[in-house]
Chain A
């Protein structure tokens, strides 16, 4: 797993209070990991801080699973 993927997983585990085994690429923040809409906003914020990127709202809407977050950040992280 890439360094970025490791960091993304760690943020999700910390912010959503879930177990590492639950954080699979297919896992949906809202359907599988118990996030509500504010949790999702916070996750995006944490990704922005950690990877020093700015994720526009229209693109943030397309980040709904662990895998989608990892691929977006692998592409955009500086």
Chain B
């Protein structure tokens, strides 16, 4: 009966690797450590491929695990993933291998600590995606800060101390405020007046399959037996549909939103990001942009939207505007501001390429937020897919910047020019990623940006117009950057002797290019993974919204409350 605990294996495998390195390798064995660590990351990647067996036709939470952990406070060791989490986990493990490979030359000191921290970071991040218990989620979410702090602080650039502590404290502010929200939600699960209103239909829809429904029922039962609340995420989501709209729901929404918005980062909480990126080592930037930012958007998708559906859809709480309006406004400002700031670093005489990519991330994450808060299947599908795509192309761009930095020890745009003459392979890969970033058809970002903007258009054409403006600006600075770096003649003699990509660099760049093409040409399998979870979230917020291929069967919660017997 008991099947292999795949999720636990995928989550804890990196920690096992870290312990092995800690115990078996000496400080001086840098070469064997990096080989072992990379192999171990490969192992974790292969293990995570097992998750692709996720039943797309069934949807909902799968690969469930459930153990007793701290019954006194109602926390259980519960794991489970839906399609969105599966894709994000596979992306994480893939970027793990790539990050390890890309560090072989870049990291020259304290290799042992470096690879241990990289492995621990992976456990924390994967744990965030696999947790089905809010308490467990919170542990992973907050602990993920520590390895990143060290990665930036020890192996970072000139200004690393400042950047590391800024990153740490900034994101901490959000997560401690979220802790209050977590606690409040927990106490609400003990409020019988509310929990008795939850309909079975809501639970069925959110859980998606009978096994997950059974797990929720079991958790609630155990909690009731112990006289505690429960941290089960699905139960809390279902609870969200009956929390009355009002100050409390809005405050809870913002308690969670602050934590995630800083992680995303949404304007105006983005200022830590450029500093962290510029100072972080290449692999740190790859993980930061590729995965850590997604913790924020994933949090919005997993918690804010389904748990506070009324607040998420609200447009009138503050009088002429509401919670959703605030989120959309910040998303649009982020898109435009990020793009303009990125452009500034091309125009500037000595702009830092890494800073440019960092600001382009702010812009891209704005698109994700816009898609999420358009609250329709197209928009949310696009947003979730854009998380994956951004993970691919921003990671690739940071890797590419890292490659040139290893050779020239500068990232200044003005230092380069005509690189395509000496590094044709590098130029080709760079071009493919620039084209991905600006959303060229047949490459992955086109699909997701198209979907997200279409969703935004369905909600409000003006929002889509602002988003499109951001994309145009995006294309502008990316092409300009490419032109300045790669075209023309080599006017800097230092660039004449640069070598093209080594085989190791080819190995870790190729998968990203392939993924970009694959999602761009044939996105159907990827969309299949995320479709059902996305529909459930949209349904939770708007029970009557027409969704293609899905009848509006679930009654609105207000009506359901009346018919409930208990």
A and B interact physically: no
| B residues lining the A interface (CB < 8 Å) | none
